[in-house]
Amino acid sequence: MSLDTSSLERLVPDELASSDSTGHQSLDIHLERYRFAALHAPPGRLLDLACGAGYGTRVLADEAEHVSEAVGVDISPDAVSYALQRYARPGVSYRVADGGKFIDAEGFDTIVSLETIEHVPAPGELVDRLVGLLRPGGVLVASVPTTPSVDVNPHHLHDFTERTFRGLFQRHGLQEVAALRQEQHFKPLRIVRRQEQRVADLRPGLLGWYAQHPGSLARRVLATLRYGFTNRYITIAWQSAAP
């Protein structure tokens, strides 16, 4: 089993070095999102889609004690294998599946998918599938960056604002229950000089990218003028109509 523990896309808590300040900061932000989701999880079955190494699924199951079953799903067999070894327990299981094609006949009372939607080619189609898996009266919790990220992170395919993110869910008639906003400060010179431990998979040739994508450069400049050197995120809990 091989997990790229140097990537921000695959946090593995047990593998974080004490000197990896960015990794620890990112883990803290992820855990805060999972605990926010646990606060709003109703009784019943829970799905954690794109669960990664599986620690968040376990947090959800442990902190939302009225959840009867928690299922973590990830496209990576290595991540799921690690999760099964490290975080599985009775009532907590993990499966390998493509989130965009995942099906489950029983449905779920809670669906959590954090920092996932910006990765897929068709975000609306993924949201359609998540809503289709949600039982009546269920809660769906999702998060995205709301400052530009496509320019520096080649794994991200879409930039979102709070408005465009909300629009993906509002068209399904979901009711917003609560929102969590987060900020993560960064030091641009350390990133440019590749002095951070987690920059190996950031986009190479960024100046060339900006030359070919001037709109992306404009979004970066405007976000920096407004927020400084800060990444911003939003996590929203939505509820479907009761039966």
Tokens for 214? 């001037």
128 in a domain, yes or no? yes
35 contacts 63 by C-beta, under 8 angstroms: yes
Provide the b/e sequence for 5-38 (b: ≥16 CB within 10 Å).
bebbebbbbeebeeebebbeebbebbeebbebbb
Q: Is the pTM of this model over 0.75?
A: yes
Residue ranges for the chain with pLDDT beneath 70: 1-8, 188-200
What is the predicted pLDDT for the residue at 204?
Answer: 85
Would residue 212 count as lying in a domain?
no
In-domain check, residue 207: no
pLDDT at residue 5, rounded to an integer: 60
Question: Residue for token digits 């609306």?
Answer: 124
Q: Looking at residue 1, what is its pLDDT?
A: 41
The pLDDT tens digits of the residues spanning 189-204 come to 666 665 566 666 788 8
Q: At a CB cut-off of 8 Å and minimum separation 6, what does 210 contact?
A: 151, 216, 217, 220
* Contact assessment for residue 102 and residue 113, using Cβ atoms and an 8 Å cutoff: no
Q: What is the span of the domain harbouring residue 179?
A: 18-185+231-239
CA distances from 178 to 33, 40, 231 (A): 12, 8, 21
- Does residue 145 fall inside a structural domain? yes
Query: Would you say residue 196 lies in a domain?
Result: no
Q: What is the CATH number of the domain that holds 175?
A: 3.40.50.150
Classify residue 39: in a domain, yes or no.
yes
Indicate whether 209 belongs to any domain: no
The predicted pLDDT at position 17 comes to 82
**Per the structure, how many domains does the chain have?**
1
* pLDDT of 67: 96
Domain membership flag for residue 195: no
